[in-house]
Amino acid sequence: MPAPTNHLKAALKAGKLQQGLWLNLASAYSSELLAGAGFDWLLIDGEHGPNLIPQMLAQAQTIGTRCNVVVRPPVGEVWMIKQILDLGVQSILVPMIESAEHAAQMVQATRYPPEGIRGLGAAVARASDFGRVKDYIASANAEVCLLLQVESRAGLAALPAILAMEGVDGVFIGPSDLAADIGFPGQLEAPEVQAAIDDALRAIVASGKSAGVLTFDPAQARRYAAMGVTFIGVGGDIGLLVNAAAKLLADLRGA
């Protein structure tokens, strides 16, 4: 029996639009709730949410197969990638990629030898059903979906080399950090920022890899989809809760 099919990877390879939510609450309960909402994927965020390995595991377990699971580690470190993959997570978004060398290291980290350097601990890992998936090691590499996040001028400079790299399934543009790095912190709508984002997304789409981006504006999300962007973050658990609470209170007081 081989590793489970990564349906997100297959959809992105086929050019199908995949829309999802960021999970920052570090709550298995709210993650399970959102897993039934109908989004294509949920991203457990370890970079800007208090999600460590135990919280990632709990949320991956409660989400189950109702929705594709993506994990963003705090940083792109080999040991961290290994632990996330051993949880059974097959799709990873690595933040702050600024060089071809770092990108290549992340590809290596997601692959078993001889293609990579992932440690062979599958016999005790949830990923292989604790050794019950006998062909896991032989088939796991092909089911990993590696998305790399470019969000700085250095990352944009490295983008052509990253796009030529085998083993990278897609590149995600981080709008907030990119805006700050090019001199417009908090000004995502600045023409210079939008031009940089659009140019990068068009280059990714043209390369044949999946292009990704985050926007909480539905109109902007539709525009990106029309450009051929297939991995789009359209909201997050914290934003949904904060905005709904504020709207409810405003409606009550307005009434």
Active site residues: 48
Beta bridge partners of 211: 171
Tell me, rounded to whole angstroms, the distance of Cα 56 from its chain centroid. 13
**CA-closest candidate to residue 156, choices 186, 192, 189, 191:** 192
CA dihedral 57, 60, 64, 70 (to 10 degrees): -150
The residue whose two tokens read 């280059």 is 203
First-to-last CA distance in the chain?
A: 60
